[in-house]
Amino acid sequence: MRAPTSSEEVRGLTGDELLALPAVIDLDTANRALLIGRSTGYALAKRGQYPVKVLRLGNAYRVVTADLLKLLGLERQQADGRAGQADGSDEGHDLAA
């Protein structure tokens, strides 16, 4: 995959693509979801100013998808069809019932 040139439009991710993401994603994917350019995204992450928490694992930056979905106001459907909170919590539901 090549980086877009200045004359090309950076394409974001659709809602379905966002909801299909794995639990943790690379910074380039998070940048696409937020429509942030690569250089800007990495600069924000390096300064600790990225819009969501960024994990530094060795030389790689990773973003927790639930945090990104929460920022974007999206929710994943739980196995029983209920809308779950993006952070994965099941607040207000009694699991013993």
Which pTM was predicted? 0.68
- Cβ-based neighbours of 58, under 8 Å, separated by 6 or more: none
Q: What is the DSSP letter of 53?
A: -
Reported as a single tens digit per residue, the pLDDT across 22-80 is: 999 999 999 999 999 999 999 999 999 999 999 999 989 999 999 999 999 987 655 55
